[in-house]
Amino acid sequence: NPIVLDLAYNSIEFPSLENRM
Amino acid sequence: AIEDLFTSLNRHIQKSEFDLAVKVSDQVLSISPGDEDAVRCKLVALIKNDSIEEALSTIEQCSKKSSIDFSFFKAYCLYRQNKLDEALESLKGKEGDSATMLLEAQVLFRLGKMDACVDIYEKLQKSRIDSLEINFVAGLVSAGKASE
Ligand SMILES: [K+]
């Protein structure tokens, strides 16, 4: 079977907390 | 103060200390219920920690008292649990940002719907996503279009 990467996982990012600190 | 908690949360995120990031997110939420940044941090930390079941129960709890659109997170968790039809259902009607499209393509791949899967990777090609071609080729090979 061809390799499939979990690119959706890679696209999940934490929000920027810049203005909260 | 809440600013100190976010400073600490940010530090844990930078160091990939996802357990601690969940803990501090919960501390923020205890003094500021429904805080959108804290909810998002908690969910992302749970997912990055492979705590998919807990992420789903967090979504369940928070969606009652929040206006945040959790459909992508929910769909991703369902995909991880191989609940593919439910995952697609959760993505239905969602705006086609690249994260959503990547997830939809992966769900379609697992469902064996290769033409629809390849269509999405074709659309994503101009978005310059790292390693996209790996999944694109996998879809083409599985669709029997390897010569393309
Ligand atoms: K997959």
Distance from the alpha carbon of residue B80 to the mean position of ligand 1, in angstroms: 9
Instruction: Please tell me the predicted confidence (pLDDT) of residue B55.
Output: 98
For domain B1-68, the question of CATH label 3.30.930.10 is answered with: no
Which pTM was predicted? Answer: 0.93
Q: Which amino acid is at B78?
A: L
Q: Which residue of A has its CA nearest to B137?
A: A2
Interchain contact, A2 vs B44, CB within 8 Å = no
Instruction: Please tell me the predicted confidence (pLDDT) of residue B93.
Output: 84
* pLDDT at residue B39 is higher than 90: yes
Burial of residue B77 (CB within 10 Å: 0-12, 13-18, 19+) is buried
Instruction: Please tell me the predicted confidence (pLDDT) of residue B146.
Output: 61
Residues B73, A21, B26, B52, Cα dihedral to 10°: 30
Report ipTM for this prediction: 0.91
* pLDDT at residue B136 is higher than 60: yes
> CA Rg, chain B, in Å?
18
Tell me the nearest-neighbour CA distance from B24 into chain A, angstroms. Answer: 13
pLDDT digits (tens, 9 = 90+) for B81-123: 999 999 999 999 887 899 999 999 999 999 999 999 999 999 9
Instruction: Please tell me the predicted confidence (pLDDT) of residue B138.
Output: 96
Distance from the alpha carbon of residue B47 to the mean position of ligand 1, in angstroms: 16
Distance from the alpha carbon of residue B40 to the mean position of ligand 1, in angstroms: 24
* pLDDT at residue B148 is higher than 60: no
* pLDDT at residue B147 is higher than 70: no
Rounded to an integer, the average pLDDT of B10-34 is 97
pLDDT digits (tens, 9 = 90+) for A1-21: 788 999 999 999 999 999 999
Question: Which of B4, B8, B134 would best serve as a mutation to test chain A binding (most A beta carbons within 10 A)?
Answer: B134
